[in-house]
Amino acid sequence: MSFFSALSPTPDSRLPLFIAAVLDYLIGDPWGFPHPVRVMGWLISQFNYFAFKYLRSERSLYWAGVVLGLGLILGSGAVSWLMVYAASQVHPLLGLVTDSILLASCFALRSLRTAAEDVLQPLKAGDLVQARAKLSLYVGRDTQELSAPEILRAVLETVAENATDGVMAPLFYAIASAFIPFINVAFLPLAYKAASTLDSMVGYREAPYTHLGRFSARLEDRLTWLPCRLTVLTLALRSLQPLYVWQMCQRDAIKDPSPNSGWSECAYAAVLGVQLGGTNWYRGVAKQKPLLGDAIYPITAEKIQQALQLTRYCFLLWLSLGIGAIALSR
């Protein structure tokens, strides 16, 4: 075995892609499982404590954020490579299993469906108090006073936004990893997951993260840009009205300050014929989100199920195309 072949932990990258997709569909994120995101979150919290305790200037906080961002992103990919490589030295099958489990932890298709159903179940039963409490576990907005239509909007917005950064972008980077020699399939998805976790924890314009999280927020925007546009394109083609969906995104998505979430949400809104956005409350402060799409139909539990089905369709299509492209390239 040559040095370079030894550096390639996964000989056939189609297998971990397929196995990870099956694991996510059947199991998702088991309760109590040591999920990589939890480890990332702990590391970010420890770094934040150090940075805010010892650093004072805006410049030092910014460069600390650069170190945090690059360190966690590159480190996450490197740790996954080391784990798969070490497992492969014990037995190639163990390397395959390790790569597949790490990759499955990057996919959130089942988790997204579980979260939506967790809120919809009490809502269908007319228990607004329980539905609001469940929703508060998944969104950052205030939920105590939300009406049933506002709860439905919040769930659909969560499904539409997380379809890109929680499902399609990790799959995009998994397929990309398969075409890069000497790295395992979970390398780029875990690195992307680190960028996404950084953005959710420190990527805010408000204090105290204004300077510490600036680098991570901008990097995550750039890493998500292409998968997001490809997801919008896939949804547009699936709707059989690609021009209409694209025109709606050009009209409304560009109003959202986020270069990606607005496009993802607007694409789902256009395909489903609903309107997203409006007034959200955060810690008692109202924040106006741009209106996305036209309110042709009301947002219902059925529309949310359709959104989940659209995400599943996109995922399976990309997975099939990715596995096919890998097979042709061998």
Supply the pLDDT for residue 78: 96
Supply the pLDDT for residue 5: 45
Average pLDDT on 278-306 reads 94
- In this predicted structure, the answer to whether residue 274 has a pLDDT above a threshold of 70 is yes
Question: Whole-angstrom Cα distance, residue 46 to residue 48?
Answer: 5
Supply the pLDDT for residue 30: 66
Residue 29 — very low, low, confident or very high, per pLDDT cuts 50/70/90? Answer: confident
pLDDT tens digits for range 159-182: 999 999 999 999 999 999 999 988
Task: State what percent of residues in the chain have pLDDT above 90.
Answer: 86
- In this predicted structure, the answer to whether residue 8 has a pLDDT above a threshold of 60 is no
- In this predicted structure, the answer to whether residue 4 has a pLDDT above a threshold of 90 is no
- In this predicted structure, the answer to whether residue 188 has a pLDDT above a threshold of 60 is yes
The DSSP bridge partners found for residue 287 are: 280
Question: Whole-angstrom Cα distance, residue 264 to residue 268?
Answer: 7
C-alpha distances (whole Å) from 315 to each of 133, 261, 295 are: 30, 18, 27
List the single range of 36-40, 65-69, 151-155 with lowest mean pLDDT: 36-40
Supply the pLDDT for residue 207: 86
Average pLDDT on 122-130 reads 95
Supply the pLDDT for residue 284: 87
Residue 2 — very low, low, confident or very high, per pLDDT cuts 50/70/90? Answer: very low
Question: Whole-angstrom Cα distance, residue 221 to residue 169?
Answer: 11
Contact call for residues 173 and 188 (beta carbons, < 8 A): yes
Supply the pLDDT for residue 34: 73
List the single range of 5-19, 217-231, 233-247 with lowest mean pLDDT: 5-19
Cα angle 326, 106, 80; round to 5: 80
Average pLDDT on 312-330 reads 93
Better-scored residue on pLDDT, 4 or 75 = 75
Supply the pLDDT for residue 11: 55
Q: What is the pTM of this model?
A: 0.92
Peptide bond into 9 cis (omega under 30): no
pLDDT tens digits for range 85-120: 999 999 999 999 999 999 999 999 999 999 999 999
pLDDT tens digits for range 140-162: 899 999 999 999 999 999 999 99
Closest CA to 143 of 115, 125, 159, 119: 119
- In this predicted structure, the answer to whether residue 10 has a pLDDT above a threshold of 90 is no
Contact call for residues 205 and 47 (beta carbons, < 8 A): no
Supply the pLDDT for residue 205: 83
Better-scored residue on pLDDT, 245 or 4 = 245
SS3 281: strand
Q: State the chain's mean pLDDT as an integer.
A: 92
